[in-house]
A and B are shown apart, each in its own frame.
Chain A
Amino acid sequence: MICLGCSCLCDDLEFKNEENKITVGNACLKGFKRIDAFNKNRLISSINKKEASIDDAINKTIEILKNSKKSAIFGLENSVLEAQNESIKLGEKTGSIIDNFSSVYGGYLINRFLDGSVNTCTLDDVRDNCDVSIYWGCDPMSTHPRLMSKFSYYPRGKNRQRGWEEDRYTIAIDARKSLTANITKKFIKVSPGRDFELFKAFKDVLSGKLPKIGDKKLLMNVGTSIKKAKYGVVFVGDGLDYSMGYMNDFIDLINDIGFKLQPVMDCIGFNKLLFERFRYINSIDLEDKSYAKDNSIFNLLKGDDIDSILIVESDIASYLPHKIAKKLKDINSIYIGPHSNLTAYLSRINIPSSISGVESGGNAYRMDLKEETAEKVIDSEFLSQYEILSRIGEGL
């Protein structure tokens, strides 16, 4: 089976369900928990914290959206394409603003990744060819646990047959010694917010000059490996985005050294869908298909432009400043998702959904935009997100 636990979309899971005892082979703990949690902490259908039937919760949502002056749709980073498409349809009907996690973290990078202005490759290319990989401001071992075992570091690939010790050179660049930094061959620690200086130092090294800051020997050493790389890939996460204000320069550097870029972020699939339709990846007003910074969740909840918001499987409240997250209590907020979380707790209406890729099927994009089809493996009575969204759409 396919795992939708993160954007690695591992396709080698072995699922067994014998007398309601579930065994899952090959999935990492994150992926296993997602399946195993089919009977844990499930969201309970409710309106204003009172238990209600799903029908009532959906009807109440329809009523709210009908009476709303301006509404927003947020999330769906972990949903299947069918549900994502349905949310766009719904948003077009209601003239909503549609936004997702990439407006908080990683948006600009993903945009550049999608618009073709930076070199990219598939994860299968990475496995078969990559000899130097850099993990900048990301910790895939924590967020995408099998990325390095399946693709970027430990596997043998077509042109990388001798194993990781000889064939692959890895560098982690981060503000803290992450799990990823524990196993890469080199770790460059960069003080919070100082990525840009490090990046200048790299430029110096690559053009044959001595770096002005940092551990000169280490930087020279790493610089030489980068220069010698036959197939280099830079994995980037949200750690970089918030500590560096010079994204364009960063991407120029990646292009200059002939490396490929791979964002390690889960929202990338939905971003692709939106990009293809509207040329923007987030913060889009579906009323006139326009983009504005003020349409990002951060600014929407800070301001007073919207009176209702529909959030689908995204625990945004845990990431935003708490004063902004609290705003969810003051507007008509609807949370749709399989499990309860802080966002559901703050929302007025809760509509439980099935777990995508476990209790309902659908398609999804891997982080390198390869499409996979996930199948349902456990029967459940929960409606899928697609079904919930289309019922809301029909009711309008």
Chain B
Amino acid sequence: MRDETFIRNTYDISYVAKNNKLSPMEIYKLLPQTNCKECGEETCMAFAFKLLNKGTTLDKCTPLYEEEYKEERKELEKILKPIMEADVTETGLVIHEDLCFGCGNCVVACPVNVAEDPKGCAIGKGASSDKVILKVENGKVKAQNIERCRRFGEHKILCNACITPCPTKAIEFPGG
């Protein structure tokens, strides 16, 4: 229906450098550096890049969970936490609180919300799962779990599902 909705976007590595103070090197230093490929990546460095861009999660690196790397794992969890729970503006999604009036259109239309919350968002209700991205609280929509958004990560696409149904244009991704 809307052609622009699902245009695939290529993985843009410059995004990493621009948006995060944390460097891939810092992450790499804490990884096992054995290039064992358990995580599905060719090298530990590639895995570090992907982590930083939310294209993968730490648990994919199984060796990290062995006793030997316990300290490193803890440290990684600590430094990656702010990225995984990145604040909305940092990741691009902007909600204009003054315009939003909590109608829930975006909550129900977001494909991630629908997939994560079959008993709630998927049938029109408000969010009933912690895993959703958009949830209305005190009459305004709030974003969380932003790393699940289809606009982020390696396979990001220009998802518009939360933007088009908003009657007041309260949701925006500046710069596309």
Interface residues of A (CB under 8 A from B): 10, 12-14, 23-33, 36, 127, 141, 145-146, 148-151, 153-157, 163-166, 179-180, 182-183
Q: Encode B148-172 as 1/0 by CB contact (under 8 A) with A.
A: 0000000000000000111110000
Please give, as numbers and ranges, the residues of chain B lying within 8 Å of A25 by CB-CB distance: 126-127, 135-137
Interface pairs (9), CB distance under 8 Å: A10-B126, A25-B127, A25-B135, A31-B139, A154-B124, A155-B108, A155-B122, A156-B123, A183-B105
**Stretch of B25-33, B53-61, B79-87, B96-104 that contacts chain A:** B96-104
Interface residues of B (CB under 8 A from A): 1-2, 5, 100-105, 107-109, 111, 114, 120, 122-128, 135-140, 164-168
Candidate in A26, A36, A151 with the most chain B CB atoms within 10 angstroms: A26
Are B104 and A26 in contact (CB-based, < 8 A)? Answer: yes
Cα-based distance from A235 to B165 in the complex (angstroms): 19
Are A24 and B139 in contact (CB-based, < 8 A)? Answer: yes
Q: Which residue of A lies closest to B1 (CB)?
A: A165
Cα-based distance from A179 to B102 in the complex (angstroms): 13
With contacts A12-B128, A27-B136 taken as known, whether A141 is within 8 angstroms of B103 at the C-beta atoms is yes
Please give, as numbers and ranges, the residues of chain B lying within 8 Å of A164 by CB-CB distance: 109, 165
Q: Which residue of A29, A31, A148 is within 8 Å of B140 (Cβ)? A: A29
Are B102 and A28 in contact (CB-based, < 8 A)? Answer: yes
Please give, as numbers and ranges, the residues of chain B lying within 8 Å of A179 by CB-CB distance: 167-168
Q: Which residue of B125, B127, B128, B168 is within 8 Å of A150 (Cβ)? A: B125
Distance to closest chain A CB from B106 (angstroms): 8
Please give, as numbers and ranges, the residues of chain B lying within 8 Å of A28 by CB-CB distance: 101-104, 136, 139
Q: Which residue of B lies closest to A145 (CB)?
A: B103
8 nearest A-B pairs in the assembled complex, by CB-CB distance: A26-B126, A155-B124, A29-B139, A32-B139, A149-B104, A28-B102, A150-B124, A179-B167
Q: Which residue of A lies closest to B137 (CB)?
A: A25
Please give, as numbers and ranges, the residues of chain B lying within 8 Å of A154 by CB-CB distance: 105, 108-109, 124, 165
Are B1 and A166 in contact (CB-based, < 8 A)? Answer: yes
Distance to closest chain B CB from A328 (angstroms): 31
Q: Which residue of B lies closest to A158 (CB)?
A: B123
Are B122 and A146 in contact (CB-based, < 8 A)? Answer: no
Distance to closest chain B CB from A183 (angstroms): 5
Are B120 and A12 in contact (CB-based, < 8 A)? Answer: yes
Q: Which residue of A12, A127, A153, A182 is within 8 Å of B126 (Cβ)? A: A12
Are A127 and B105 in contact (CB-based, < 8 A)? Answer: no
Are A150 and B135 in contact (CB-based, < 8 A)? Answer: no
Please give, as numbers and ranges, the residues of chain A lying within 8 Å of B105 by CB-CB distance: 148-149, 153-154, 183
Please give, as numbers and ranges, the residues of chain B lying within 8 Å of A151 by CB-CB distance: 124
Please give, as numbers and ranges, the residues of chain A lying within 8 Å of B123 by CB-CB distance: 127, 155-157
Please give, as numbers and ranges, the residues of chain B lying within 8 Å of A10 by CB-CB distance: 126
Are B125 and A183 in contact (CB-based, < 8 A)? Answer: no
Cα-based distance from A153 to B165 in the complex (angstroms): 10
Distance to closest chain A CB from B76 (angstroms): 32
Distance to closest chain B CB from A152 (angstroms): 9
Are A182 and B167 in contact (CB-based, < 8 A)? Answer: yes
Q: Which residue of B lies closest to A140 (CB)?
A: B103
Candidate in B103, B127, B139 with the most chain A CB atoms within 10 angstroms: B103
Distance to closest chain A CB from B174 (angstroms): 20
Please give, as numbers and ranges, the residues of chain B lying within 8 Å of A157 by CB-CB distance: 123-124
Cα-based distance from A69 to B134 in the complex (angstroms): 57
Please give, as numbers and ranges, the residues of chain B lying within 8 Å of A150 by CB-CB distance: 104, 108, 124-125
Q: Which residue of B lies closest to A147 (CB)?
A: B103
Distance to closest chain A CB from B135 (angstroms): 7
Q: A154-B124, A182-B168 are in contact. List 12 more A-B contacts (CB 8 A).
A: A12-B128, A14-B126, A25-B126, A26-B126, A27-B136, A27-B139, A33-B139, A149-B105, A149-B109, A155-B123, A165-B2, A166-B1
Distance to closest chain B CB from A131 (angstroms): 14
Distance to closest chain A CB from B61 (angstroms): 35
Please give, as numbers and ranges, the residues of chain B lying within 8 Å of A26 by CB-CB distance: 104, 125-127, 135-137
